[in-house]
Amino acid sequence: MTADPPGAGPGGRSEGRFGGRVALVTGAGSGIGAACAARLAAEGARVGVLDLRAAPARATAAAVRARGGAAMALTCDVSDEKQVEESVAALVAAFGRVDVLHSNAACLDRDVYGRDRDLTAMDAAVWDRTMEVNLRGAMLLVKHVVPVMRDGGAIVLTSSVSGLTGDVDHAAYGTSKAALVGFTRYVATMYGARGIRCNAVAPALVMTAAAERALIPEQLADKAAERLLPWPCAPEDVADLVGFLASAESRCITGQTIALDGGTLVHRPEHAIHRSRT
């Protein structure tokens, strides 16, 4: 674990939904996590930008500071308990508290996610690493953040539509995301009396820069055929929902998983049926 100092920027805006609050966002070096860190900071939060990769974490934190916010970069493997503990301690040392946790980190490495295909041919190490990052990582973050939350708090986990249904590949990823749905309910139940809420967001395809680079036109057409709406989700759409669930506007919502999927799961999946038969 490494932590960069918050820098010489201001100590965070006092106005906005998160004025005076401190947020920790994991997987924040790019994509959904970077958008959520930027949104929370824009609305007043001081943000811990945590990522496995040091350079992207620093870039996101620098972008927050350039817009007048306060952020510090943290480099951490969320599956390593010592690194998680040290990262949370570093954030508290810098900003004094943690009020919001957005656990968004997931294992999408080509050597892991890219080999998460046919179960009968899967290397068990692919399954294990997926669970270590996606599920164990979320558990460790909750374990070490809840004790330092004061006056309640909000936890938002990133699940996936893959955790709400089945598919013809990515069983390890989907199972880890399904487990997060159950974990959300347990965290909400365990800590609700302390005023700590826990919810999950379950996006379908989000058009991050990485997704745009990775998906070929045929794959984009497949995803479009599964949606009801004519547009895909963007990282900012997820940030809108995370910001709502982390704010006092959702103070009576806890233990819920909200799909952000353009209507993918509300109709009969004819396209998925066709894929499974070809």
Judge whether 104 and 52 are in contact, CB under 8 Å.
no
Candidates 85, 61, 200; CA nearest to 141 is: 85
Cα 256 to Cα 266: distance, rounded to the nearest angstrom: 17
124 burial (CB, 10 Å; 0-12 / 13-18 / 19+) is: exposed
Q: Which of 113, 173, 186, 191 is catalytic?
A: 173
Judge whether 179 and 127 are in contact, CB under 8 Å.
no
173 is catalytic: yes
Candidates 22, 17, 51; CA nearest to 34 is: 51
Strand-strand pairing, 70-75 and 2-3: antiparallel
Judge whether 42 and 36 are in contact, CB under 8 Å.
no
Positions annotated as catalytic residues are: 173
